[in-house]
Amino acid sequence: MAMRQTPLTCSGHTRPVVDLAFSGITPYGYFLISACKDGKPMLRQGDTGDWIGTFLGHKGAVWGATLNKEATKAATAAADFTAKVWDAVSGDEVLTLAHKHIVKSVNFTQDSSCLLTGGNDKTIRIYDINKPEAEPQEITGHTSAIKKALWCNNDTQILSAADDKTVRLWDRTSTAVVKQLSFDMSVSSMEYIPDGEVLVITYGKTIAFYNALSLDLIKTVDAPASIHSASLHPDKDFFVAGGDDFKLYKYDYSTKEELESYKGHFGPVHCVRFSPDGELYASGSEDGTLRLWQTEVGKTYGLWKCVLPEEENCEGRKFEETI
C-alpha cells in the first residue's frame, strides 16, 4: 500500500501567500514566516505550522519576508514603500526603512547586522541595522523591478533577479557586476544554497541549477506547468517545485526524474521551501493557505504519526484522516 501524503494546512491569512522562509535550527526548533497580500506576515512553529504571532504595522501587501538564522529577527518587504525589521520573539517593530517604491525582497547577513532590500525602484540597498539613521549603500544597474536580492559567498557578494530578465552577481565592496545571466523571460524565483554554492532559478516551466559563484549552468529540468518557485533539499537528493497548476512536484536531483506530484492547494502555488532539517517542505498559495508536506511520506515527525499498512484501523489512520 502506498502511503498517502497528508499535508498540514495552515490558515489565518485572508489573501494570497506570496513568500515564505524558514529560520535555521535553534534550541527551540525552527520557525516559518509567511508574507501575504493581506499585509499581516505570520510567524509559525516550523515543524507543526502552529501559529505563534502576526507582525502588525504594514499598510499594504507584504511581498517578501525572512528570518535570521537564530529566529530572533524578522524582516518584511511591502507595497507601503517600506521594509520593516521586527523582534521575532516579542513581535515588536524595531525599524521601518523608507523606500521610494514597492519593496519586494529582504535578506539578512549571517550575523544579522545588515539587511539587503530590493524592489520596484530597481535599486539594491544595504542597511546597517545597528546604524538605522545612516544612509544605505545603494547598488544600481537593473533596468526593471527587482524580485529577489540575496547575500551569497559569505556575504561578500549579492545575487539579484529582476524583471529585466537578468540575474546578476555583484561584489559587495566595489558594487560592480561580477557575472550576469540573461533569460528570454522574467525569472519567477531564486533560491541560494550556501552549502555547495547552488543557485536555483525558475522561469516559465523551467527549473535551473547554477553554480552561484561562477553562474555556470549545472542542469535544467522542465516541469509540466509554469513554475513560480522551487527549492533544493539540504542533502541535494530532491527538489520540489510549484506553480500554475496548483500542484507540488518532487524530483530526484541527480536523475531529474519526477518522483511525485501532489494537489492540495486550490490556487496557484507562489512559493515553496524545504525546512532546514529537510524533513518537510512548505508551500504558499493564491488560496491564502500554507501547507506543510512530508519529504518522506509516512515517517513519524512533527504532527505526522507513522501508520503501518497492517494497522489500517489504528489511531494513526484516524489521526491522518483528520489533520
pLDDT for position 315: 38
Q: pTM of the full predicted structure?
A: 0.93
Sequence-distant (6+) residues with CB within 8 A of 168 are 141, 142, 159, 160, 162, 177, 179, 180, 181
The answer to whether residues 10 and 283 touch, using CB atoms and an 8 Å cutoff, is: no
Sequence-distant (6+) residues with CB within 8 A of 17 are 34, 35, 36, 270, 271, 284, 285, 288, 289, 290
Alpha helices in the chain (DSSP H): 315-322
259, part of any domain: yes
316, part of any domain: no
What pLDDT, in 10s, does the model give residues 56-71?
999 999 999 999 999 9
pLDDT for position 173: 95
216, part of any domain: yes
pLDDT for position 120: 98
Is residue 1 predicted with pLDDT exceeding 70? no
Average pLDDT over residues 261-288: 97
270, part of any domain: yes
Distance spanning both ends of the chain, measured CA to CA: 20
299, part of any domain: no
Average pLDDT over residues 96-117: 98
315, part of any domain: no
Average pLDDT over residues 87-92: 97
pLDDT for position 2: 61
What pLDDT, in 10s, does the model give residues 135-161?
999 999 999 999 999 999 999 999 999
Is residue 261 predicted with pLDDT exceeding 50? yes
Is residue 211 predicted with pLDDT exceeding 80? yes
Average pLDDT over residues 265-281: 98
pLDDT for position 31: 98
Tell me the CATH number at 204.
Answer: 2.130.10.10
Average pLDDT over residues 210-223: 97
209, part of any domain: yes
192 vs 211: CA distance, rounded Å: 10
1, part of any domain: no
Is residue 321 predicted with pLDDT exceeding 60? no
- What's the grid cell of residue 121? 525602484
Enclosing domain of residue 222: 12-294
Count of the separate structural domains present in the chain: 1
pLDDT for position 305: 81
pLDDT for position 307: 57
Taking alpha carbons only, the member of 169, 66, 146, 147 closest to residue 109 is 66
pLDDT for position 322: 36
